[in-house]
Structure 1
Amino acid sequence: MQPIQNPEINDGTSLFNIPSTEDLAALERANALLERQLELLNHCAGLRQRFTTFHQHAENVEEISVGVREIVTDSEKNNGDIEMDRADSAYADNDIRLTATTFTNDTIVKVALPPSPPTTATARALMYSLLKALHSYGAPSHRLETIMQAVGEGLFTPCTLYYLPTFLILHFHTTSTAAAEHQLLKSRGGMNFSKLDPLYELCKKIIRREICHGSAVASLEEIVGASDPFHELLIVAMYPLSAFTSAIMFFHGGWKDAGMSALLACIPAGLRLVANRWSFLWWTYELLSCVLVSLVASLLSQHFCYSSVLLSAIVSLLPGYTITSAMLESVTRNIVSGSVRLAYVAAYLCFMSLGATLSPLLVTAFRGQGFLRQPPVADGVCGLEQTIQVHYTWLILMVPLYVVSYNYYLQIPYRMWPSTLYTAIAGYAAGFLTKRIFHCPPELNALAAALAIGLLANVHSKFTNRISSHAIVAGVFVQVPGSWGMRGVLAFAYGEVERGIYWTYQMLVICVAIAAAL
């Protein structure tokens, strides 16, 4: 039987038509386009969710085509073809930046879609690194949970944060691609606003899905690896300045008391450099500083006011911001964290008071007076507690100098100094006026000062769209709530129970007022 050479059907068409060259070219283009579309869909696990977000902003469109950096020409507009290409080299190989091109009757509208979501493992690693950096650079503890939850939503990785002052638990929820996981972080924390500000900006980009995973990791590594704006020697050089100004502003000292405080502040400054060299000394840093400062102040108590010199020389060691953070956490219902921090403050103040009271006992015994449990205060040396030994106009200069010393200590860049200066000055002025003019009790003084600080800091944040925590921290340092606690513990140590209760109560009330106003 002969094979059928060209079988035909009744209408004259061939059963096995050979496609033309144009048909083959069109088929190849269709296959290439289909392969690229499949590759894109396979890569974008969360594409459907982001399309839903896009549709909410693009309702009156006739057709939506998804591509990567589309190149649309007039001829392609007619037939609807879109040429797709990889993202530029600024993104990692596995990251694709999406845009959506909507075709209407007359115009082509391009809308940028968020970057493709990272894998679960890489997203969790990024969130862990972000949490460590935020905690290390001074992010407010009562806002860490909110920030991390928002970052988790931006990375399609839901999480919950459990916070303690030096111990954090980051719990990742179960998803369709990964099981639940706990990651533990142990960190002492710290403050560095030169890195906290760009870190906040990075978090905002992640939350708004304006940055891909590869770029976020690179930005985070750049922030963490950046050098500090101020050297350690410059920071310790600010200790005498803060002691000099605080002796006049807060502890009712005169010019000679302020000068002696500046000299004695070199003791904790020098011990800080030594502790940086031998880290085991950090465990006794506060005790050694208080012992040495109190020893010199006791020996010179016949010529200088002991209490003013002592408290102003160690003002940089007082846990004022820690107390405020503890009360703020308690007010925001973070009971466990606030209670732990309050217990730490109590132990810390007792540790410092031990060093402050040990030296006077040894000095009185060395002079042959026995172990007298009383502060070495000579008659006529110290002024009254409610008086200022210098003219009021000098305070206008003292407040900015005090804030400048803490700007170096907190690693606040120069561009952020204006906000810290006017916020701290406004807070000090509000407290000073309510105390000196209206003769208000300490609770109202602290509330007025905190309201001024919080109002200006929030106004600054609204107008600049930047963080304001640096201004709030500087304002809290000007209120020096830690000095009230130190006075209370010293009063208890010298048997003045009523004064000790009064100072401790005032410390707690002031911190609550600051927390409520902020």
Structure 2
Amino acid sequence: MGGGQQSAGVGPDYVPLPDQLQIAGEIALILLKQDYLMMLCEAMLRFGAPSHRLDHKMERAASKLGLDAAFFTQPGVVQIRFGDPVTRTSETHILRCSNGYNMAKLADSVHLSRAVEQGKMSLDEAVDRLDDLLHMPDQWPWWAELIAYFIASFAGVPLAFSGNWIDASVAGVLGLVVGLMTLLARRLRAYSDLFEVSASVVVSFIAAALHNYVCFWSVALAAVIMVLPGLMLTTSVMELASRCISSGAIRLFYALTIAILMGYGLLLGVELWHIFDDFQVSSKASCASISSWWYFLLMPAIAVSFNIQLQAAPRQWPVMTLTLACGFTTFYFITLYVHSVIAAPAISSFVIGMVGNIYAALTGEPAVVPVLPAILLLVPGSLGVRGTLAFLQQSQNDGLLFAINMIMTSLGITVGLFAAAIVSLSLLPATRRRRTDLMAL
């Protein structure tokens, strides 16, 4: 045999067994890292992470793991590209996941990702934990959500819509009805397409029927306070301001569509009541309000309802309630002296953002947890629905004014939150070290 002849049974592409095992292990590790990133991204979207900051957050997590990855999030879907610089190839994954809010699970997901980045948790354990988070039931059952709908509508009348106790009682019952309709929409796909319109029609019809005893505007808007699109509208403006043009435009158009549907439903309910009574609703109607001293009791009540709706753990309630109280108190006293659609939301949201970022810097918790319920009281959902009603009633001047106020309120909230993030990054070293701004609005 010649010296260059191959050994028996060994080809030119032969790879020794130890090398094969090493290559297989490296491939398995890469696939595990990719699975972890995809599950983490899905968890962040489903649990309420700020979408305009999520792409950067996920790319930073991929960089920590040594992967070349790019993320592109849209409402309800995310595209993930994993690249291989050696072979110059890439693969793209498209994940469909519904956007929601679960503050307890969001905080757990943030802590989990931080533990992986710091090497305190293995990828195998992280994947198992994420799988448990994605499949475990919510923090609060359906009956607790119904109670939250009642409390939010009851307390929302005097806090947000200047109503009295009779208005609050009726709105609370109607809010409970809206909560039942919400649960029905989750279970029946066909009904979910008509949910906003049907809920608005029912609420408007009953409020119009009781117009001799209650304030129509206070009752009708407070009853649907949990489904008003104000938070979505504000989020869309923040995405547009963050240069997330595609997702921001989609969310903005969707929020305006929901506002139009709800405005149409409220007007349709009034028109149906006209069959029995010639009741005229006015966008400029004023109602009797209660003493502002009652706000000290109503603020914690509506904070609890928002906390339940956001699926927050009881340990998160104190700071969420405190942040909401700070934001509402600021808004209340500013509006006493400065009658401005621009200044009050901007300053109030700045205070809310500062409280949330200080809390995040001191505890390491995501800042979005205390900020969200406080923003819910500032969002312009009621203004949006009122503007739609004014337009549908052919009051173009009122409709244009309310629409402009709605956008200006969203812009004010956006500017205030972004300013709070900048000030926090400048003044709080812990914020820079932990990069908690990535989980702030």
Is TM (by shorter chain) over 0.5? yes
Q: Is the 8 A contact 2:165 2:290 kept in 1?
A: yes
Give the counterpart letter for 1:333 in structure 2. Answer: R
Give the counterpart letter for 2:109 in structure 1. Answer: L
2:245 is the alignment partner of 1:335: yes
Task: Work out the CA distance in 2 between the residues paired with 1:487 and 1:298.
Answer: 16
Residue of structure 2 in register with 1:207 after alignment: 117
Residue of structure 1 in register with 2:340 after alignment: 441
Residue of structure 1 in register with 2:330 after alignment: 430
The percentage of aligned residue pairs carrying the same residue is 25
Question: Pairwise mapping of residues 286-435 of structure 1 onto structure 2 (< 5 A)?
Answer: 286-367=196-277, 369=278, 374-375=280-281, 383=286, 389-435=289-335
2:129 is the alignment partner of 1:219: yes
Give the counterpart letter for 1:144 in structure 2. Answer: L
Q: Is the 8 A contact 2:153 2:175 kept in 1?
A: yes
Please identify runs of 4+ aligned residues in structure 1 that moved more than 3 A: 42-45
The 1:276/1:344 distance shift into structure 2, 3 A limit, reads: closer
Question: Pairwise mapping of residues 53-132 of structure 1 onto structure 2 (< 5 A)?
Answer: 119-132=29-42
Q: Is the 8 A contact 2:328 2:377 kept in 1?
A: yes
The 1:363/1:423 distance shift into structure 2, 3 A limit, reads: same
Residue of structure 1 in register with 2:399 after alignment: 500
Shift of residue 445, structure 1, vs aligned partner: 0.6
Task: Work out the CA distance in 2 between the residues paired with 1:270 and 1:452.
Answer: 35
Shift of residue 396, structure 1, vs aligned partner: 1.1
The 1:326/1:349 distance shift into structure 2, 3 A limit, reads: same
The 1:207/1:118 distance shift into structure 2, 3 A limit, reads: farther
Q: Is the 8 A contact 2:45 2:99 kept in 1?
A: yes
Please report the RMSD computed on the Cα atoms of aligned residues, expressed in angstroms: 2.4
Shift of residue 178, structure 1, vs aligned partner: 7.6
- SS in structure 2 at match of 1:514: helix
Task: Work out the CA distance in 2 between the residues paired with 1:282 and 1:486.
Answer: 19
Give the counterpart letter for 2:258 in structure 1. Answer: Y
Of 131, 136, 144, 2:46 maps to 136
TM-score, with structure 1 as normaliser: 0.73
Give the counterpart letter for 1:159 in structure 2. Answer: A
Q: Is the 8 A contact 1:154 1:209 kept in 2?
A: no
Task: Work out the CA distance in 2 between the residues paired with 1:137 and 1:165.
Answer: 13
Residue of structure 2 in register with 1:243 after alignment: 153
Structure with the higher fraction of residues in helix conformation: 2
Please give the per-residue CA displacement for 1:419-468, whole angstroms capped at 9, x wherever unaligned.
Answer: 111111000011110111x2331211101110110010000000001111
Residue of structure 1 in register with 2:75 after alignment: 165
Count the aligned residue pairs.
Answer: 401
Q: Is the 8 A contact 2:198 2:265 kept in 1?
A: yes
Give the counterpart letter for 1:156 in structure 2. Answer: G
Please give the per-residue CA displacement for 1:195-239, whole angstroms capped at 9, x wherever unaligned.
Answer: 111101111122334332212212212322333221111111211
Task: Work out the CA distance in 2 between the residues paired with 1:212 and 1:39.
Answer: 24
Q: Is the 8 A contact 1:229 1:411 kept in 2?
A: yes
Give the counterpart letter for 1:375 in structure 2. Answer: V
Question: Pairwise mapping of residues 148-297 of structure 1 onto structure 2 (< 5 A)?
Answer: 148-176=58-86, 179-297=89-207
The 1:177/1:412 distance shift into structure 2, 3 A limit, reads: farther
- Unaligned runs of 5+ residues in structure 1 are 1-37, 46-93, 95-115
- SS in structure 2 at match of 1:163: strand
Q: After the TM superposition, which of the residue ranges 312-321 and 123-132 deviates more from structure 2?
A: 123-132
Task: Work out the CA distance in 1 between the residues paired with 2:18 and 2:303.
Answer: 57
Task: Work out the CA distance in 1 between the residues paired with 2:331 and 2:191.
Answer: 38
Task: Work out the CA distance in 1 between the residues paired with 2:189 and 2:75.
Answer: 21
- Unaligned runs of 5+ residues in structure 2 are 1-16, 418-441
Give the counterpart letter for 2:400 in structure 1. Answer: I
Task: Work out the CA distance in 1 between the residues paired with 2:377 and 2:66.
Answer: 41
Q: Which protein has greater RCO, CA pairs closer than 8 Å, 6+ apart?
A: 2
Task: Work out the CA distance in 1 between the residues paired with 2:255 and 2:316.
Answer: 29
Q: Is the 8 A contact 2:230 2:255 kept in 1?
A: no
TM-score, with structure 2 as normaliser: 0.86
Please give the per-residue CA displacement for 1:72-92, whole angstroms capped at 9, x wherever unaligned.
Answer: xxxxxxxxxxxxxxxxxxxxx
Q: Is the 8 A contact 1:330 1:339 kept in 2?
A: yes
Q: Is the 8 A contact 1:118 1:155 kept in 2?
A: no
Task: Work out the CA distance in 2 between the residues paired with 1:474 and 1:424.
Answer: 6
Of 359, 362, 369, 1:470 maps to 369
Residue of structure 1 in register with 2:352 after alignment: 453
